[in-house]
């Protein structure tokens, strides 16, 4: 074992020993109205995070009604009859806390981080807006303009985001994972207050929500306060399930996007892969680390440092996605190099995973990297709550106890088998981004 490997292994061991035990301490409850509650005491500092997650995101949308979940997230801060516009954020700020929210493919989450002895105020605010959101038409029109501007700056005028949106659209022909979380411009412009009100009624119900809190409190006492604040809220109807299954892919799909704003050409690739429900998911997660996670990854080392073809390279795998999603990777094209060179180099690294076993040292380094990242996240009450929530929404928070053992059990043979199974050229989706001014090098439509 090299000195570097010994140091990393020792660091991971020390972190694991110092991290608070989690599984045995989680207080789990389901209220009569279906609200799931997970509470975890952490008395290292006098702070807490309170999070409420709703099982709704762009995955629940359809063409013509995209962007509903994200727009409703914005409107959740526009007040109720009891607490008017801006009161939520102002109240939390006056208490010295921070609040925010985010929307993903699979869920919409709201969180508040503040002194633990101020949690009663958060319970009152959250319980009120899950029942009595105003959805004022004037506020809606103003927020629609905000979202349209957000889409313009973050997608339409951002070449990389625009390319990622196009890649999703060709990779998913039926499944809503192909829809942008922020929504299409044309849909956002046509959404109505009634569309939002129907979405709110369908998905913002206790039976479709998860409350997670981590911090310096007594869990049993906090549970009773949550029961008092949320327990009388009606359960609400069960939202319609997402039944769409993406059909098989029988050949590579390609898209070329040309953008005036682009300064560099980019090459994107994605393969449809299973989520955590598959035994192969652990090997896929390790493959993502080896291939595309950070500057020590094969793509960065090979394309940026060694071959000097790219300015950047990386990728991602969605282990906890609700449905099979894309294993993606990318590289930006260094000025003076061609898209074809970079694409060949990317594919060469993929083929290498299918033909050459990963060395024991490289595999150990990837496992240690995943292990250390997972343990480091437990040092923050916010991240601990996020981890609990994400595993719970994936099926059960206890799945997190099997995550690191699953990662540690991955072998070089597993990596070869999984790479050969899922990195099939006929299952590849390729996107090319070209600067419009120069039009870039010619790209064959294969």
If 0-12 CB within 10 Å is exposed, 13-18 middle and 19+ buried, where does residue 192 land? exposed
Structure-block tokens of residue 308: 């000097």
- Record the tokens describing residue 415, joined without a space: 């990596």
Query: What is the 3 state secondary structure string of 69-116?
Result: HHHHHHHCCCCECCCCCCHHHHHHHHCCCEEEEEECCCCEEEEEEEEH
Catalytic residue at 189? no
Residues 6+ apart with CB under 8 A from 67: 58, 61, 147, 180, 181, 182, 183, 184, 187, 188, 191
Q: Which two tokens stand for residue 234?
A: 């009606």
Q: At 36, list the tokens.
A: 């799931």
User: What tokens were used for 138?
Assistant: 């004037």
| Other Cβ atoms within 10 Å of 316 Cβ, number | 15
Q: If you ran DSSP here, which 8-state letter would residue 176 be given? A: G
Mapped onto helix, strand or coil, the DSSP state of residue 295 is: coil
Which one, of 60, 90, 84, lies nearest residue 72 by Cα? 60
Where b means 16+ CB within 10 Å and e means fewer, 251-278 reads: eebbbbbbbeebebbbbbbbbbbbbbee
Torsion (CA) 342, 345, 347, 349 in degrees, nearest 10 = -140
φ, ψ dihedrals at 310, nearest 5°: -135, 155
Residue 424 structure tokens: 């099939």
- Catalytic-role residue among 41, 61, 73, 165: 73
- The set of catalytic residues is 73
């Amino acid at each position: 074992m090299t000195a570097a490997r010994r140091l990393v292994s020792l660091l991971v061991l020390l972190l694991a020993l110092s991290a608070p035990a989690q599984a045995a301490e989680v207080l789990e409850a389901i209220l009569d109205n279906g609200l799931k509650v997970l509470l975890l005491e952490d008395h290292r500092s006098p702070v807490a995070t309170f999070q409420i997650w709703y099982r709704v995101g762009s995955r629940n949308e359809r063409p013509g009604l995209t962007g509903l979940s994200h727009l409703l997230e914005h409107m959740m801060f526009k007040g109720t009859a009891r607490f008017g516009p801006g009161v939520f954020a102002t109240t939390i700020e006056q208490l010295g806390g921070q609040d925010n929210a985010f929307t993903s493919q699979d869920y919409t989450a709201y969180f508040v981080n503040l002194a633990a002895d101020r949690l009663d105020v958060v319970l009152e605010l959250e319980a009120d807006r899950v029942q009595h959101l105003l959805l004022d038409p004037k506020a809606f029109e103003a927020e629609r303009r905000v979202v349209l501007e957000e889409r313009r700056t973050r997608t339409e005028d951002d070449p990389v985001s625009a390319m990622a949106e196009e890649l999703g659209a060709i990779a998913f022909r039926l499944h809503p994972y192909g829809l942008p979380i922020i929504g299409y411009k044309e849909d956002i412009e046509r959404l109505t207050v009634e569309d939002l009100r129907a979405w709110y009624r369908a998905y913002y119900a206790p039976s479709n929500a998860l409350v997670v809190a981590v911090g310096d409190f007594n869990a049993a006492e906090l549970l009773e306060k949550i029961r008092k604040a949320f327990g009388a809220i009606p359960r609400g109807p069960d939202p319609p399930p997402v039944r769409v299954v993406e059909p098989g892919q029988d050949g590579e799909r390609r898209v070329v996007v040309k953008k005036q704003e682009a300064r560099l050409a980019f090459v994107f690739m994605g393969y449809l892969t299973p989520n955590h429900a598959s035994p192969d998911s652990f090997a896929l997660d390790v493959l993502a680390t080896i291939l595309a996670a950070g500057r020590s990854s094969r793509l960065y080392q090979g394309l940026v440092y060694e071959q000097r073809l790219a300015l950047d390279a990386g990728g991602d795998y969605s282990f906890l996605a609700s449905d099979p999603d894309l294993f993606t990777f990318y590289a930006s094209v260094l000025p003076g190099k061609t898209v074809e060179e970079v694409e060949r180099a990317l594919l060469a690294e993929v083929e290498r995973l299918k033909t050459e076993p990963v060395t024991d040292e490289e595999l150990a380094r990837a496992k240690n990297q995943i292990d250390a990242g997972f343990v480091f996240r437990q040092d923050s009450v916010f991240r601990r709550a996020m981890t609990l929530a994400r595993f719970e929404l994936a099926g059960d928070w206890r799945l997190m106890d099997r995550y690191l053992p699953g990662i540690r059990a991955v072998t070089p043979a597993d990596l070869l088998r999984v790479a050969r199974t899922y990195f099939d050229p006929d299952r590849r989706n390729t996107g090319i981004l070209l600067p419009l001014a120069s039009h870039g090098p010619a790209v064959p439509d294969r």
